[in-house]
A and B are shown apart, each in its own frame.
Chain A
């Protein structure tokens, strides 16, 4: 056996597989990873500090920029935190509209994330193009309701900015008829696919106990076999009225995370169907008319969290009674899900790092804040 020397290399910050400006300081022995240290901060803009000099409402569009894939989910978590702090009630129709938007976001995120993951494995573009095609359809719906495709800024304290336009529900129904075909096709294409099996099965294993102690959330935690979903564990909004399952993996490898995301798209569609059936008519209004947007919450603190497509997204707010938050803290899922990256990669090959990182599904806007 030849003696080899350990070598330190950088993957990133400018690298197509790092999904943004993210650097991994990797120590390798031959092609095997001995150690990996994630380095970030390239996109740091002190989001939390800027939020302290804005009024509560001014922060709403700013939350869009955290996880720019899922602006609706960010809006939801922030709106919940402010409503908890200020004691604002939300009419039922608005709750349903919110759930519809966030579940659409989840489908959009997973369709994109799976595409990028397959891309990282070297199956260039095909799956990504399919995922992006589905994403576009949902973005069209977002444009319809909010006027923007990506930075939606749609939620308000006590409801949403405007009611659904008349053509929204028929268009959504149309989309939902086509959606199972996409998910089934995706699964048929890839579930037994030799490339995927070779690159994903048994790679990047995160055992149950480690997943808990590393505080990971979302599909990464569920892929490790823990059925923890905030929509069930600490119900918020109207999630207690829907019937849906929480998919879990068994081993906690890349393949499990992949399968969990596919199944979550199906479950989101189930929720959408129930939400559309139960959606109250417009008489209840889409926003609480008594809710002041220039809100001055009483002194105190509040924490609200949602199951965002990437995991637990929470906002911690401290109010000093003025129109601006005294403290605004984001508990970002992508950021915390990166903590075990070193442990997940140790012992695998360099080419696997790219795939493991892709399976965590990070967005640097949220990691660096």
Chain B
């Protein structure tokens, strides 16, 4: 079983790809309190990297560490921090916990290198992230909307997407 913890991965990356690591280390951005008290910054095992170095780091995970299986790409919109966070999850085919890479891009210019040329399996994940969040994957061969129709304007999963017409929103219990 492949057992590499997030801390070990950070150590390895520090040694091999020092430029890939983002400075702010282990801190997660704090979600904007849309329906709750203001949260606290919390510790996490996941490794935060610089967006421009994503491909290098991902290929290092695949080719050197053997984490060849890209399972999921999730986007979180941290409106208060003005960033999108992307969460990449890689698995080893021998089993074990995932290695998670996170990166943050400013909401105004969400440019992220595409993994699709290296992992064809990232195709639909990235198209979904583009469709719902408007993340621009640089180098993606066919970055089109996947769920919404092509003429649709806006990105419906963004926190500031207008929810006008939904009478249940805004009435906190």
Residue ranges of A at the interface with B (Cβ–Cβ < 8 Å) = 40-41, 44, 46, 48-49, 53, 210, 212-217, 226, 228, 232-234, 296, 298-301, 303, 305, 312, 314, 316, 318-324, 326-327, 329, 331, 335-336, 338-340, 343, 368-369
The 8 closest A-B pairs by CB, nearest first: A322-B36, A215-B121, A233-B95, A299-B39, A320-B31, A41-B147, A44-B147, A214-B121
B37 and A321 contacting across the interface, CB-CB below 8 Å: yes
Chain A residues, CB < 8 A from B39: 299, 320-321
Which of B34, B70, B95, B148 is within 8 Å of A234, CB to CB?
B95
Chain B residues, CB < 8 A from A305: 71
Chain B residues, CB < 8 A from A331: 71-72, 74
**Count, A-B residue pairs, CB within 8 A:** 127
Chain B 122-150 residues near chain A, CB threshold 8 A: 122-125, 132, 145-149
For residue B72, which residue of chain A has the nearest CB? A331
A233 and B96 contacting across the interface, CB-CB below 8 Å: yes
A326 and B31 contacting across the interface, CB-CB below 8 Å: yes
Chain B residues, CB < 8 A from A318: 31, 76
Chain A residues, CB < 8 A from B149: 41
* B61-73 contact mask (Cβ, 8 Å, vs A): 1 or 0: 0000000111110
| Size of interface on B: residues with Cβ below 8 Å to A | 49
Chain B residues, CB < 8 A from A335: 124
Known: A53-B169, A312-B71, A323-B35. A216 touches B121 (CB 8 A): yes
For residue A232, which residue of chain B has the nearest CB? B95
Chain B residues, CB < 8 A from A41: 145-149
Residue ranges of B at the interface with A (Cβ–Cβ < 8 Å) = 28, 30-37, 39-40, 42, 44, 68-72, 74-77, 87, 89, 91, 93-98, 100, 119-125, 132, 145-149, 156-157, 168-169
Q: How far is the CA of A360 from the CA of B89 in the complex (A)?
A: 23
CB distance from B160 to the nearest CB of A (A): 13
CB distance from A239 to the nearest CB of B (A): 12
Known: A228-B93, A316-B87, A326-B34. A214 touches B120 (CB 8 A): yes
Which of A216, A234, A300, A368 is within 8 Å of B147, CB to CB?
A368
Chain A residues, CB < 8 A from B156: 46, 49
Chain A residues, CB < 8 A from B96: 233-234
A to B CB contacts below 8 Å, 7 in the list: A40-B146, A212-B68, A212-B69, A215-B71, A234-B96, A316-B72, A331-B71
Which of B72, B87, B120 is within 8 Å of A213, CB to CB?
B120
Known: A41-B148, A233-B96. A340 touches B120 (CB 8 A): yes
For residue B166, which residue of chain A has the nearest CB? A53
Q: How far is the CA of A314 from the CA of B73 in the complex (A)?
A: 11
Chain B residues, CB < 8 A from A339: 120-121, 123-124
Chain A residues, CB < 8 A from B77: 327
Which of A40, A228, A299 is within 8 Å of B42, CB to CB?
A299
Q: How far is the CA of A335 from the CA of B126 in the complex (A)?
A: 13
Q: How far is the CA of A44 from the CA of B94 in the complex (A)?
A: 35
A303 and B89 contacting across the interface, CB-CB below 8 Å: yes
Q: How far is the CA of A119 from the CA of B122 in the complex (A)?
A: 32
Q: How far is the CA of A215 from the CA of B149 in the complex (A)?
A: 26
Which of A210, A232, A301, A324 has the largest count of B CB atoms less than 10 A from its CB?
A301
Q: How far is the CA of A48 from the CA of B158 in the complex (A)?
A: 11
CB distance from B47 to the nearest CB of A (A): 14
Chain B residues, CB < 8 A from A217: 71
Q: How far is the CA of A312 from the CA of B93 in the complex (A)?
A: 13
CB distance from B45 to the nearest CB of A (A): 11
A300 and B148 contacting across the interface, CB-CB below 8 Å: no
Which of A216, A299, A329, A368 is within 8 Å of B31, CB to CB?
A299
